[in-house]
Amino acid sequence: MHKRRLGRTDLLVSQICLGSMTWGQQNTEADGHAQMDMAFSRGVNFIDTAELYPIPPKPETQGRTETIIGSWMKAKRNRDQVILASKVVGRTANTWFRGGRPSKLVRADIFDAVEKSLTRLNSDYIDLYQIHWPERAVPWGANPNRVGAVALRADSVGAPADEVPIAETLAVFDELVKAGKIRYFGLSNESSWGVMRFIAEADKDLGPRPVSLQNAYNFVNRTFEVNLAEVCEREQVSMLAYSPLAQGYLSGKYDHGARPLGSRSQLFNRGQRYETPNAAEALLEYNELARSFGMEPALFANAYVASRPFVTSSIIGATTIAQLEMALSSADVVWTEDMQKAVDAIHQRVGNPCP
């Protein structure tokens, strides 16, 4: 398992990061522990979680995922061997994070979030603490397809009167770093403008420079390549790619409208991000391409993301050990020029149908 430098830090993270958002909902504590055991035995040293998890978010399960990670590290006594990433929610009307009120990226709410996460994680510090989504009113994912972009322009009437300035939020993260509660600061679901604004404020010594960006990246959403790839390369911000399987749609299990019993789409009906116009046809074409190369679609899609030179770490997710084994094996796939040409030929025709 190759290790890559995280931003400008001295941390070397595995090219595959273990995602955790099913633990505590689709997966039990024992399942989560088994996944961490397997991943770390294969060279993974990087786990991503969030105060929001597990998914789908709801008050009765919120925080369980961090608790499962915390119990594993306590049992293994291996905190010093884990590079741990977590996230604070952005602006949300959901009230269960802050004890009965909505949350924003203000000092009180960020401190509340980090203290609760540290307790659940059985840790004195978090290696990488990320803003899960922007305070600003932007489409989810921050890199919308054309439909999302038009909707934003049509519906947006300017920033909310109480929008928290980036400089104010960044100053809170500065406090957290100086207090030793977090080591580094990162962004997620952020746009090119947002990344550059955080960097600009950090360059004024108002707070820590973002070391990473966690955004969606897969065959049907390569929007990162348009502007963010240059931003991240030139500013030395590591790309942490989530959803390499497009919420399972690039595994082939949903081809031709199938909804297997126990799958996330069947259980929770949360696949709308990958059910946009023309998405089904594009997804099927990529899955058939994988089969033409003699590979399972999930292995092919994971290998593509892990092989990208601008991706520091690919965040995989699994609900079974068999799925995890395949995702981990993607690090061993040699991505060929013929594979890339075939993928690019489809992309040239279908573009980015999913946000």
- Nearest-CA neighbor of 50 among 164, 108, 138, 128? 128
Work out whether the CA dihedral 126, 132, 135, 141 comes out positive or negative.
Answer: positive
Q: Is 53 a catalytic residue?
A: yes
What Rg do the C-alpha atoms of the chain give, in angstroms? 19
98-to-102, 111, 117, 193, 225 alpha-carbon distances in Å: 7, 11, 12, 29, 36
Give 132: exposed, middle or buried? Use CB within 10 Å, 0-12, 13-18, 19+: buried
Yes or no: say if 40 and 47 are a contact pair by the CB < 8 Å rule. no
Mention every residue, 6+ apart, whose C-beta is less than 8 A from residue 217: 224, 239, 241, 242, 243, 244, 305, 308, 311
Yes or no: say if 284 and 318 are a contact pair by the CB < 8 Å rule. no
Rounded Cα distance, 139 and 215, in Å = 13
Yes or no: say if 195 and 213 are a contact pair by the CB < 8 Å rule. yes
- How, if at all, do strands 3-5 and 182-188 pair? unpaired
Rounded Cα distance, 16 and 232, in Å = 19
Six-digit token pair at 38?
């397997």
Mention every residue, 6+ apart, whose C-beta is less than 8 A from residue 31: 23, 319
Run of H or E including 13: strand 12-14
> Which residue among 53, 242, 249, 254 is the active-site one?
53
> Which residues participate in catalysis according to the annotation?
53
